């Protein structure tokens, strides 16, 4: 078998539609946005790591926006203690239970203490802690209706600042001429006892400085501040997707990895995006949660009636198609998202509604496909067909939509589609801007295909016909696609003993291959592309992480879009801010088992490094004057001093070490006149 090919296909067809119009898709694979064209060939690769994910907006499979230099600062919110005085334990217990729910945005702690007052009467105190500092008796009377206390005693405030003023105070701490911070979400803790302020830094040095302030007490706040560097991920989500995912997201928030937090902000206005933040100090735990959120937001790709191929028709990319899909969607229960860039429909909502939506789409496409319109081609209309009208029509709708029927009873155009599309087709056919050089295809021309499969050279079985007319065994063609490889993968036809070479269109490959196999082909194509650009792209150094990033000539740091590891884009190692790549590499290697074994090997084999360029040099025997093969330096093997000439090196050996070789210098060499 030979060549590079593809597999799978629409069982309802006997041959692949010969569409030749430009068909391209964008896919998110291995952390990059890949532009694929015909032959499943990679045309371009872009890096969306620094763009927020937009689920249901630009790209449905986009990953969350990962921020590299983010710190969180937490402190205790301004609060005070309040004592409620009761003469009855029963009333005190009832009052205490009133604070089981949130009170003014805080989870107040209520504890009952029994004591005797000044008159030696028993009384019960309900001690309230974590109370907002601006709480008044009026607020207390509102929540304690029916169980009002004898009196309310307000304790000392932790600070004179309000919550808003405390946030401003912390922002001012981190804002000066040297530090450049971009403040993001302020997030209270679940109890309201603590406040958290997230800051995105422009410089790693600023992060180190901020971290040094952790644990510092500020009297104005009445609290210490706690600063830590964290990994953060941000998602922007369509309101329809957010509404259908909110229950799962809340369930996930209850079961997140240790130290990982999820905050969600619903759309504030109509058509505005919802926002989801994931953050925590342990990047690997944040990465796990990020993957689970992506799984919830991803929805389900809708497959065709064979449950293996993606359900798609170009009609769905039109305004009419959008209106049809919108009519099927049911707010709060089901949402159909059309991803034009990847040519697929994504279902969100109750799984019980998925099959009904799929059948409705299939029925609509079937109805449109079997709406047949016939127009007789006579006189001037036939001339326009020959002068480019038919070409314009097929370029717009595809050859599968329009056919010429020429027989003894006359000429006719047979068009499959809606009345609206047929009306547009007639306009294209009758347009005056004809192309004189264009000619209509002859309806009697012979197809180049024959009964022999170009792959196995045997009779064709379960035939597939490509746009060029060559026919393949279905299994052979699929195997060719599966085994495709090379510096830059490109699926082409190998008919006519390999002379055909016509690129197989991406649309045909998508229709032939089952969804999973088509995705595998695209992934293999990207891998070939990365291998063929070794100085431009490489993979994340984390084991089992397949994310691709761009290599740079200058040191820089990025956060892996998948595992959240910090990577140096020059040397490919873990981020090493503040030191050079060479130093980082040496520090990582020094002390390792491999390094110790290497040093032992060098010692036993009499190998030393050139003092100028560090190239390893081995001395077997003889003279202690060595010349580095790499930089040509003259070297004293005994002390590794370097010289400008061999004469200077020999003089050094004689004067300092008393010998030129491994033994003492022979007398005849001592008198050779060398200085």
- Report which listed range, 94-98, 161-165, 225-229, 378-382, is most confident: 94-98
286-314 burial, b at 16+ Cβ within 10 Å, e below that, comes to: bbbbbebbbebbebebbbbeeebbbbbbb
Tell which residue, 8, 100, 538, has the closest CA to residue 303.
8
Arithmetic mean of pLDDT over the chain: 78
In angstroms, rounded to a whole number, what is the distance separating the alpha carbons of residues 450 and 471? 7
Q: Would the pLDDT of 630 be above 50?
A: yes
pLDDT at residue 517, rounded to an integer: 83
Beta bridge partners of 464: 472
Task: Decide: 557 and 541 in contact? Cβ < 8 Å.
Answer: no
Residue 409 pLDDT grade (very low, low, confident, very high; cuts 50, 70, 90): low
Residue 235 pLDDT grade (very low, low, confident, very high; cuts 50, 70, 90): confident
Question: CA separation (Å) from 525 to 434, 510, 530, 590?
Answer: 39, 14, 9, 38
Instruction: Using a pLDDT cut of 70, give the percent of the chain over it.
Output: 81
Task: Decide: 126 and 98 in contact? Cβ < 8 Å.
Answer: no
Residue 136 pLDDT grade (very low, low, confident, very high; cuts 50, 70, 90): very high
For residues 21-30, average pLDDT = 68
Q: What is the pLDDT of residues 582-612, one digit of tens each?
A: 777 776 666 666 677 778 888 888 899 898 8
Task: Decide: 428 and 392 in contact? Cβ < 8 Å.
Answer: yes
Burial class (CB in 10 A: 0-12, 13-18, 19+), 399: middle
For residues 275-291, average pLDDT = 83
pLDDT at residue 68, rounded to an integer: 54
Q: How many beta carbons lie within 10 A of that of residue 129, not counting itself?
A: 15
pLDDT at residue 108, rounded to an integer: 93
Of 32-46, 456-470, 481-495, the one with minimum mean pLDDT is 481-495
Domains of the chain (ranges, CATH numbers): 69-73+162-298 (3.30.1370.10), 79-157 (3.30.70), 300-370 (no CATH), 372-416 (no CATH), 452-533 (3.30.40), 537-590 (no CATH), 606-666 (no CATH)
Instruction: Using a pLDDT cut of 90, give the percent of the chain over it.
Output: 19
pLDDT at residue 17, rounded to an integer: 35
In angstroms, rounded to a whole number, what is the distance separating the alpha carbons of residues 206 and 203? 5
pLDDT at residue 674, rounded to an integer: 40
Q: How many beta carbons lie within 10 A of that of residue 634, not counting itself?
A: 19
Burial class (CB in 10 A: 0-12, 13-18, 19+), 213: middle
Task: Decide: 574 and 568 in contact? Cβ < 8 Å.
Answer: yes
Task: Decide: 512 and 477 in contact? Cβ < 8 Å.
Answer: yes
Q: Would the pLDDT of 338 be above 50?
A: yes
Of 372-376, 389-393, 522-526, 660-664, the one with minimum mean pLDDT is 660-664
pLDDT at residue 675, rounded to an integer: 38
pLDDT at residue 207, rounded to an integer: 74
Task: Decide: 455 and 477 in contact? Cβ < 8 Å.
Answer: yes
**What kind and span of H or E run contains 44?**
strand 41-46
Tell which residue, 531, 485, 525, 479, has the closest CA to residue 506.
525
Q: Which residues contact 36 (CB under 8 A, 6 or more apart)?
A: 24, 25, 26, 27, 42, 43, 506, 522, 525
Beta strands in 313-371 (DSSP E): 334-339, 344-349
Q: Would the pLDDT of 429 be above 50?
A: yes
Residue 13 pLDDT grade (very low, low, confident, very high; cuts 50, 70, 90): very low
Q: What is the pLDDT of residues 45-82, one digit of tens each?
A: 887 654 434 444 444 444 456 665 678 888 999 999 99
Q: What share of the chain is helix, strand, coil (3-state, %, to 5)?
A: 30, 25, 45
Q: Where is pLDDT greater, at 499 or 78?
A: 78
Q: Where is pLDDT greater, at 213 or 17?
A: 213
Q: Where is pLDDT greater, at 23 or 102?
A: 102
In angstroms, rounded to a whole number, what is the distance separating the alpha carbons of residues 523 and 664? 67
Dihedral angle computed from the Cα positions of residues 505, 509, 512 and 518, in that order, rounded to the nearest 10 degrees = -170
Burial class (CB in 10 A: 0-12, 13-18, 19+), 604: exposed
Beta strands in 302-343 (DSSP E): 334-339
For residues 142-153, average pLDDT = 92
Of 117-126, 448-457, 494-503, the one with minimum mean pLDDT is 448-457
Q: Where is pLDDT greater, at 430 or 67?
A: 430
Task: Decide: 8 and 518 in contact? Cβ < 8 Å.
Answer: yes
How many Cα atoms within 13 Å fall on the side-chain side of residue 327? 10
Which phi and psi (to 5°) does residue 317 adopt? -85, -5
Q: Which residues contact 44 (CB under 8 A, 6 or more apart)?
A: 34, 35
Report the relative pairing of strands 53-55 and 226-237 from DSSP bridges: parallel
pLDDT at residue 110, rounded to an integer: 94
**What kind and span of H or E run contains 514?**
none
3-state secondary structure 127-161: EEEEEECCCCHHHHHHHCCCCCCCEEEECCCCCCC
pLDDT at residue 426, rounded to an integer: 83
In angstroms, rounded to a whole number, what is the distance separating the alpha carbons of residues 154 and 149? 13
Query: Is the pTM higher than 0.75?
Result: no
pLDDT at residue 294, rounded to an integer: 84
Q: Would the pLDDT of 4 be above 70?
A: no
Q: Would the pLDDT of 137 be above 70?
A: yes
Tell which residue, 228, 229, 231, has the closest CA to residue 75.
228
Q: Where is pLDDT greater, at 209 or 671?
A: 209
234-251 burial, b at 16+ Cβ within 10 Å, e below that, comes to: bbbbbbbbbbbbeeebee
Residue 453 pLDDT grade (very low, low, confident, very high; cuts 50, 70, 90): confident
């Amino acid at each position: 078998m030979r060549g590079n090919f593809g597999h799978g296909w629409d069982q309802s067809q006997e041959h692949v539609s010969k569409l030749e119009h430009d068909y391209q898709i964008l896919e998110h694979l291995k952390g990059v946005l890949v532009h694929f064209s015909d032959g499943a060939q990679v045309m371009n690769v872009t890096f969306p790591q620094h763009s927020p994910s937009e689920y249901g907006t630009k790209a449905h499979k986009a990953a969350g926006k990962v921020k590299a230099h983010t710190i969180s600062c937490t402190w205790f919110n301004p609060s005070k203690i309040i004592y409620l005085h009761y003469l009855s334990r029963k009333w005190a217990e009832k009052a205490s239970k009133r604070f089981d729910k949130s009170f003014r945005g805080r989870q107040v702690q209520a504890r009952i203490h029994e004591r005797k007052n000044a008159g030696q009467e028993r009384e019960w105190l309900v001690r309230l802690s974590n109370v907002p500092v601006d709480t008044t008796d009026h607020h207390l009377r509102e929540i304690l209706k029916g169980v009002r206390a004898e009196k309310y005693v307000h304790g000392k405030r932790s600070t004179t600042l309000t919550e808003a003023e405390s946030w401003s105070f912390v922002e001012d701490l981190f804002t000066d001429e040297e530090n450049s911070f971009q403040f993001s979400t302020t997030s209270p803790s679940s109890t309201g006892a603590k406040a958290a302020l997230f800051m995105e830094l422009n410089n790693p040095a600023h992060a180190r400085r901020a971290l040094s302030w952790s644990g510092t007490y500020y009297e104005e706040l009445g609290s210490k501040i706690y600063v830590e560097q964290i990994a953060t991920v941000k998602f922007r989500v369509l309101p329809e997707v957010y509404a259908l995912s909110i229950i799962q997201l809340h369930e996930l928030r209850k079961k997140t990895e240790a130290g990982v937090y999820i905050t969600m902000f619903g759309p504030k206005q109509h058509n505005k995006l919802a926002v989801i933040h994931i953050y925590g100090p342990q990047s690997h735990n944040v990465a796990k949660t990020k993957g689970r959120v992506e799984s919830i937001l991803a929805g389900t790709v809708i497959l065709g009636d064979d449950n293996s191929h993606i359900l798609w028709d170009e009609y769905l990319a039109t305004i009419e198609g959008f209106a049809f899909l919108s009519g099927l969607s049911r707010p709060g229960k089901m949402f159909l998202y059309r991803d034009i860039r990847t040519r697929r429909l994504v279902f969100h909502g109750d799984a019980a509604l998925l099959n009904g939506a799929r059948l409705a789409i299939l029925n609509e496409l079937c109805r449109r496909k079997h709406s047949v319109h016939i127009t007789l081609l006579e006189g001037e209309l036939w001339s326009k067909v020959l002068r480019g009208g038919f070409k314009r029509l097929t370029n717009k709708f595809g050859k599968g939509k329009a056919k010429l029927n020429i027989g003894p009873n006359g000429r006719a155009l047979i068009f499959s589609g809606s009345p609206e599309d047929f009306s547009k087709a007639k306009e294209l056919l009758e347009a005056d801007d004809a192309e004189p050089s264009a000619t209509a295809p002859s309806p009697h021309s012979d197809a180049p295909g024959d009964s022999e499969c170009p792959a196995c050279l045997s009779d064709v079985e379960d035939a597939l016909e490509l746009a060029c007319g060559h026919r393949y065994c279905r299994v052979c063609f699929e195997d060719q696609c599966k085994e495709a490889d090379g510096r830059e993968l490109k699926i082409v036809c190998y008919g006519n003993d390999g002379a055909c070479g016509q690129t197989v269109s991406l649309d045909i490959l998508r229709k032939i291959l089952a969804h999973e196999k088509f995705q595998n082909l695209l992934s293999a194509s990207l891998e070939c592309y990365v291998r063929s650009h070794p100085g431009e792209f490489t993979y994340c150094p984390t084991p089992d992480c397949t994310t691709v990033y761009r290599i740079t000539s200058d040191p820089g740091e990025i956060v892996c879009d998948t595992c959240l590891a910090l990577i140096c884009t020059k040397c490919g190692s873990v981020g090493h801010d503040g030191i050079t790549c060479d130093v980082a590499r040496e520090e990582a290697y020094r002390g390792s088992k491999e390094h110790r074994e290497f040093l032992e090997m060098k010692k036993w084999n009499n190998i030393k490094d050139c003092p100028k360029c560090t190239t390893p040099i081995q001395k077997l025997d003889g003279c202690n004057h060595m010349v580095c093969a790499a930089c040509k330096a003259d070297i004293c093997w005994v002390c590794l001093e370097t010289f400008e000439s061999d004469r200077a090196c020999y003089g050094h050996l004689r004067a300092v070490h008393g010998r030129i070789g491994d033994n003492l210098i022979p007398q005849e060499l001592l008198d050779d006149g060398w200085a």
